[in-house]
Amino acid sequence: MSPAARRPTAPDGTTLAHLATIPVRQINRVGDKRAEALAALDIDTVLDLVTHYPRRYIDRTRQADVAGMRMGEESLVLARVVAVRSRRTRQGRALVELDVDDGTGVLRVTFFNQAWRGRQLPAGTEAVFFGKLESYRGKRQFTNPVVDLVGNRTGRIVPIYPTSEKAGIAGWEFGEWVEEALRRSGSLHDPLTPAWRDELDLVDRTTAFAAIHAPESIADKERARRRLAFDELLRLQLEVVMRRQVLERDARGIRHVVGPDHAGHDHDADHDADHDADHDADRVDHGDLAGTFVSGLPFPLTDAQRRAVAEIGEDLAGPLPMHRLLQGDVGSGKTVVALCALLVAVRGGRQGALMAPTEVLAEQHFLSVRALLDGLSVPDSGRLEGRRPVAVALLTNRTGAGERAKLHEGLRSGAVDIVVGTHALLTDEVRFASLGVVVIDEQHRFGVEQRDALRVKGRDAATGEGADPDVLVMTATPIPRTAAMVVFGDLDVTELDELPAGRTPVRTVWARTPTDEDAAWQLVRDEVAAGNRAYVVCPLVEGSERVQASSATQERSRLESGPLAGLRIGLLHGQLKAADKEGVMESFRRGEIQVLVATTVIEVGVDVPEATVMVVEDADRFGIAQLHQLRGRVGRSARPSWCYLLGSAPSPEATVRLEALERSTDGFELADVDLELRGEGTILGTRQKGRSDLKLASLRRGDRPLVEAARRVAESVLAADPGLSHSPQLADEVRLFVGEEEALYLFKS
Ligand code: ADP
Ligand code: MG
């Protein structure tokens, strides 16, 4: 029996955990057949039922007349079906056509690929239809409208459930089951005290559940949504705040020496007795490597970079391990900041690790790290007075066995200062002499567990000796603040909100027609003639890297003998050996190659300031974030740059994407559009399972105050009751919704 089931009710009402133990079958009129249909919608318990919220509401007070509806506008009509015709289109699609009449006029309603509508809506049925009025062959029509069978419901606001009507469950039926479930549950236990509810202007839980399913008014429904959305966010915030508290309690951090030489050495003065930080007096100090590195760069840091380096420096010098997120748009210069952090570890004779989610990204980070560190050296312990370069290594699954063994040895002995790699860094054979700083790129592609897996490599697996490295998480795909608080709630956040000076925003053109496309190729020729360079990103093709590669090869020949004849064209794809890739990139950098035809391997890290044009083929098949990343490969100098997005027949969604890219170069704004289009899942990722609890709360801007309120409540609740041991119902709830796996920290405390 799960712990949740042991505490079915609280003295002050029914808990959600209790509802999770009642099979939906116990609702009157839910027989085997209904229960099966519900199971198909993942509704097994009464809790599932009452948290299956309406998808939308129909405000019957705003009902229209068929006669009075206006073309192109969304309207709602209550009408009776007077005729039904079912047939197939010439393409073989099911087509159901209804004539519906509301007494003022007749409207044609057409459904594609919904053959079951014929059975759902026989002549004589009365239903609500909600859709956009259009004209088809002179007739007024709705295509695939929202339909609700009215039944005997009389409310002014009618909830529409995302039920599968196909499965034979009508909205009104669903509403009745929910009503019964809530009636039988009686008053619900409310984990939020009246004082908090007052302060945050939230209704109580019982009221909220009743109103979300059967609101008196739209305002009523909105109050219910706010409360229930708050609960979703509170559960997540409790989990992340708790997680953070546990991390800090068990932490044994490193007090790195940071800043100019011979300064900041009196760390003993602020020694925090609570934390057993690793700092022995005779630790090596190779001097201010990060400072030397920065002053050797051919450019000054931006103010934002300076701020970030300072914030990170404070974390590194402090007794607690850093858990910080570095957010910055494409081209904002995150790599330099990350390197400053890694070099602080090297300064103290420790090691740094940089983990990337893909081999290509890891390889490219490796190349840029190596290039940036060129010339930087540390004292060589083997040779008196001698110095050696900072040792950087690459570890991916492509690293050959011999080299890998050597590398493992170098990491164990400390001969390798900085390792760049993929998940390959997480394997058991990888042990560090002394891991000081970890940087994880594109964190949202990793799960929390993987972040932890690298973190624990600071300690000896057998003895637990050692210290926890400082962790910096970077994301190149900007995440709106609100979402960041949910997804990365346990991290501090630093934003690089500034691009290096002298960058001109890339002008982006969506080439919709063959003429536009010709203009794109013309621009490529002009720019090359002016001494600049261009990228052509090949269409995404289904299949393996091999298939991608061969399609890129074909595309290159097509361009060579077509629109780009006479130009020196190179080819880059994932199937090339690392050395060949480097060779191609080097030729492109030097200008021997003028146009680089590439797969998305150039998405990240590639850095050639002379590149001023990018042409993305079949751009409608890429996501917003990916196009934004790709586009970041141009506009890397003061020269004006262009990005042409080819795509002539995009879907409506792709149109929104391409238009957004044309309009904006602001990664945060684009991230919001993406969120709007694709929902929260894109950001939350599949690994972050518990996040699926967000049914009502939105990570978009609108719910930001709610996220912040939830954070405040979580912190206050946990300050008074760290392990939630005095609020068992709330603890159960977090476990129940956030998931046992993610709520692990509840049990550890
Ligand atoms: P991203 O944040 O996208 O990872 P990078 O770290 O790859 O950005 O930096 C983009 C480019 O800008 C690189 O060529 C880098 O060398 C350069 N760069 C970084 N910081 C500055 C700066 N302060 N001034 C000028 N160029 C910079
Ligand atoms: Mg980068």
Cβ 305 under 6 angstroms from ligand 1 = yes
Q: Which residue has a Cα nearest atom 17 of ligand 1? A: 333
Q: What percent of the chain has pLDDT over 70?
A: 87
Question: Residue 128 has what pLDDT?
Answer: 85
Q: Per residue in 51-99, pLDDT tens?
A: 999 888 877 777 888 999 998 888 888 899 999 999 988 888 889 999 9
Mutate to test the pocket of ligand 1, among 332, 373, 496, 639 (most ligand atoms within 8 A of CB): 332
Choose between 463 and 344: higher pLDDT: 344
Pairing of strands 146-149, 387-389: unpaired
- Measured CA to CA, the distance from residue 438 to residue 569 in angstroms comes to 39
Amino acid identity at 611: A
Report yes or no: 420 and 351 within 8 Å, Cβ to Cβ: no
Q: Which of 627, 635, 629, 634 is nearest to 661 (CA)?
A: 627
Q: Is the CB of 698 under 6 A from ligand 1?
A: no
Cα(353) to ligand 1 centroid in Å equals 20
What percent of the chain lies above the pLDDT cut of 90? Answer: 46
Q: Token digits for 397?
A: 């699954």
Whether 138 shows a pLDDT value over 90: the answer reads: no
β-pair type (418-421, 323-328): unpaired
Ligand nearest to the CA of 300: 1
Q: Summarize pLDDT for 522-573 with one digit per residue, the tens.
A: 999 999 999 999 999 987 777 777 888 788 899 999 999 999 999 999 999 8
| pLDDT tier at 251, thresholds 50, 70, 90 | confident
**437 DSSP β-pair partners:** 352, 470
Alpha helices in 419-512 (DSSP H): 448-455, 481-487
Q: What number does the ligand 1 atom closest to the CA of 609 have?
A: 14
pLDDT digits (tens, 9 = 90+) for 347-391: 999 999 999 887 777 888 898 899 999 999 998 876 667 899 999
629 CB near ligand 1 (under 6 Å): no
- The residue to mutate among 302, 336, 641, having the most atoms of ligand 1 within 8 angstroms of its beta carbon, is 336
Query: Tell me, what's the pLDDT at 667?
Result: 84
Q: What is the pLDDT of residues 520-531, one digit of tens each?
A: 999 999 999 999
Q: State the DSSP H helix or E strand holding residue 351, giving kind and residue range, or none if neither.
A: strand 351-355
- Is the shortest distance between the CB of 326 and ligand 1 below 6 Å? no
Give 743's pLDDT tier (boundaries 50, 70, 90). very low
Whether the CB-CB separation of 650 and 623 falls below 8 Å is answered with no
Q: Does ligand 1 have an atom closer than 6 angstroms to the CB of 333?
A: yes
Give the ligand whose atoms come closest to the C-alpha of residue 297: 1
pLDDT given for residue 688 in this prediction: 41
310 C-alpha to ligand 2 centroid (Å): 20
Quickly state the pLDDT bin for 659 (edges 50, 70, 90).
Answer: very high
Tell me 457's DSSP state: G
Q: Tell me which ligand sits closest to the C-alpha of residue 638.
A: 1
Residue 276 pLDDT more than 70? no
* 478 Cβ inside 6 Å of ligand 1: no
Which pLDDT score is estimated for 561?
A: 95
In the predicted structure, residue 680 carries a pLDDT above the cut 70: no
* DSSP secondary structure of 383-400: STT-EEEPPEEEE-TTS-
462-466 mean pLDDT: 72
Which residue in this structure is represented by tokens 């099911």?
94
Residue whose CA is closest, atom 23 of ligand 1? 301
Query: pLDDT of 416-450, one tens digit each?
Result: 999 999 989 988 899 999 999 999 987 555 556 66
| pLDDT value of position 645 | 96
Q: Average the pLDDT over 592-609 and give the result.
A: 82
Residue 88's DSSP bridge partners are 94
**Residue 729, ligand 1, Cβ within 6 A:** no
**Closest Cα to atom 14 of ligand 1:** 607
C-beta 636 within 6 A of ligand 1? yes
Whole-angstrom Cα distance, residue 306 to residue 349? 24
